[in-house]
Amino acid sequence: MSAAAQRRAVIDIGTNSVKLLVAEVAGQSVTPLWERGEQTRLGEGFYDSRLLQPAAIARTLKAVAGFQERARELEAASIRVIATSAARDARNGAELTAAIASGTGLTVEVLSGHDEAGWAFRGATAGLADPPESACVIDVGGGSTECTVGVQGSLRWSESFHLGTVRWLEKIRPGNPPQPAELSHCRKSIAAFLNQHVAPDLAPALARLDGTPPHLIGVGGTFGILARMELKTDDFDRERIEATPLSRATLAAWTERLWTMTYAQRGALPGLPPERADVMLMGAAIIEQFVLCFRFESVRPSSRGLRFAALMN
pTM over 0.75? The answer is: yes
Contact 91, 21 (CB under 8 A): no
> Cα separation of 132 and 263, whole Å?
38
Q: Do domains 6-110 and 128-310 have the same CATH topology?
A: yes
What is the reported pLDDT for 3? 47
Kindly list the domain boundaries of the chain, sorted by start residue.
6-110, 128-310
Distance of CA 301 to the CA centre of its chain: 11
In sequence order, the β-bridge partners of residue 78 are 8
Contact 287, 204 (CB under 8 A): no
Q: What is the CATH number of domain 6-110?
A: 3.30.420.40
What is the reported pLDDT for 1? 46
All residues at 6 or more sequence positions from 307 whose CB lies less than 8 Å from its CB, including other chains: 10, 12, 19, 21, 123
> Cα separation of 206 and 228, whole Å?
29
In sequence order, the β-bridge partners of residue 8 are 23, 78
What is the reported pLDDT for 58? 98
CATH 3.30.420.150 fits 128-310, yes or no: yes
Buried b (16+ CB within 10 A) or exposed e, 235-259: eeeeeebbebbbeeebbeebbeebb
Q: What is the pLDDT along the chain (313 residues), one digit of tens a residue?
A: 444 789 999 999 999 999 999 999 998 899 999 999 999 999 999 998 999 999 999 999 999 999 999 999 999 999 999 999 999 999 999 999 999 999 999 999 999 999 999 999 999 988 777 778 899 999 999 999 999 999 988 999 999 999 999 999 999 999 999 999 999 999 999 999 999 999 999 999 999 987 778 999 999 999 999 999 999 999 999 999 999 999 999 999 999 999 999 999 999 999 999 999 999 999 999 999 999 999 999 999 999 999 999 999 8
